[in-house]
Amino acid sequence: MAHEALSREAFAAELRSLAPRYWDGHPFHVRLHAGECGPGEVRSWVANRWYYQQILARKNAAVIANCPLPAVRRQWLSRVVFHDRATEDWLVLGDAVGLSRESLLDERYVARGTRFAVDGYLQFCREKPWTEAAAAALTEMFSPTLMAARVVAWREHYDWIKPDGYTYFENRIPVVRDDARYTLDLVLTHCRTKDMQIAAVKALAFKCDVLGAMLDAIDYQAGAGRGGTARP
């Protein structure tokens, strides 16, 4: 019946079916991985992604604050620690592409669209039930493959990027694979009603849209013939 909760397998399939909404197919990402972006466009991507990276520890802290389950809070805490430490790796990436630490920290190259999207995501995780915030994080199911492809593509096409810039991705890929397995099991286990399952799928769709909106903003800012390209 329509009001009955999906089976665990069917619910997982619903969540995974959102893969086409992930940002790997966005025109800017396609160009970025094809080697068709200039240095300024790569810098714009890095500068705007910085704004997203630096809210992740706070986003994960919001999940913990809203979760009544001690075991989940303890497990989720590792994400706060990881992302707090990883911000330094992102600053190294900035330097590797020719952006000063100062320019990332003062957010001078962050597009308005990126701010709206990222701030909206943080607010979502603060206000919604913890299960929905956890479900929104399930874009991590789709990200390891994209990150691995990014490292290969950038090394092939952008040999001007300093090698130490890849530290963030090299550290994140194995961690995010484990995180994705844990988060999927968590959402499948705790979203037991049909309404909770629908909310979880909507939360993941929302997160995909947040990422897509970021790339829309980056594409507008950094695209050929448009202003706002980040410079060293």
- Report the percentage of the chain scoring pLDDT > 70: 95
230 lies in some domain: no
138 lies in some domain: yes
pLDDT for 225 beyond 70: no
Say what the pLDDT of residue 58 is.
97
72 lies in some domain: yes
Per-residue CA distances from 77 to 74, 122, 167, 170 (Å): 5, 17, 22, 21
Write the CB contacts of 89 (distance below 8 Å, at least 6 apart in sequence).
167, 168, 171
pLDDT band at residue 223 using 50, 70 and 90 as cut-offs: low
pTM of the predicted model as reported, rounded to 2 decimal places = 0.93
124 lies in some domain: yes
Say what the pLDDT of residue 56 is.
96
Range of the domain at 151: 8-222
pLDDT band at residue 1 using 50, 70 and 90 as cut-offs: very low
Comparing 61-65, 73-77, 97-101, 143-147, which segment has the lowest mean pLDDT?
143-147
Say what the pLDDT of residue 226 is.
47
CATH number at residue 135: 1.20.910.10
86 lies in some domain: yes
Task: Please tell me the total count of domains within the chain.
Answer: 1
2 lies in some domain: no
Q: Tens digits of per-residue pLDDT, 28-47?
A: 999 999 999 999 999 999 99
180 lies in some domain: yes
143 lies in some domain: yes
Say what the pLDDT of residue 222 is.
75
pLDDT for 179 beyond 70: yes
Taking the C-alpha atoms of residue 18 and residue 70, their distance in angstroms, rounded to an integer, is 30
Per-residue CA distances from 64 to 135, 222, 231 (Å): 14, 36, 38
pLDDT for 227 beyond 50: no
Q: What is the mean pLDDT of residues 152-159?
A: 96
Mean pLDDT over each residue of the chain, to the nearest integer: 93
Comparing 72-76, 129-133, 188-192, 220-224, which segment has the lowest mean pLDDT?
220-224
Say what the pLDDT of residue 232 is.
46
